[in-house]
Structure 1
């Protein structure tokens, strides 16, 4: 996501001919988009995306269970 935002920012600055990017080749401005595409391919093929989604679901489940325990008065108190 950061690479995509960087690429969009660089493309905008290049298009507006602002700063040092006005004189840089378009190929260098487009590099973050290529890196973002490579990241997404790697993340999907390695299972990173599914693992992170599963972790998020498990955390929501733990939070929901903890909330219900507290509302029932079953929360363990530490002294």
Structure 2
């Protein structure tokens, strides 16, 4: 995501002719977009994306279970 934001920022600076970026090569300005594509390809290939989604879902489940236990007056379970 950071590569994408950096790429958009550099593209805007190049198209609006800001001083330091206007003299840069287009390859340098578009490089963050290539890095973003490579990052997303690696994240999908390695399973990083899936693991982070599963982790978020498990955390939400745990918070929901803790809240339910607290509302029933059972308190939270000790962690193993």
Q: TM-score range by the shorter chain?
A: over 0.9
Q: Deviations over 1:2-27 (max 9, x none)?
A: 10000000000000011300110111
Normalising by structure 2, report the TM-score: 0.92
Return 5+ residue gaps in structure 2 as ranges: none
Alignment length, in residue pairs?
76
Match of residue 57 from structure 1: 57
Match of residue 71 from structure 1: 71
Match of residue 9 from structure 1: 9
Normalising by structure 1, report the TM-score: 0.93
Following superposition of structure 1 onto structure 2, how do residues 19-38 of structure 1 map, counting pairs within 5 Å?
19-38=19-38
Deviation at 1:36, TM superposition (A): 0.3
Match of residue 47 from structure 1: 47
Cα distance in 2 between the residues matched to 1:52 and 1:19: 40
Point out 4+ residue stretches in structure 1 off by more than 3 angstroms.
none
Aligned CA RMSD, in angstroms, stands at 0.7
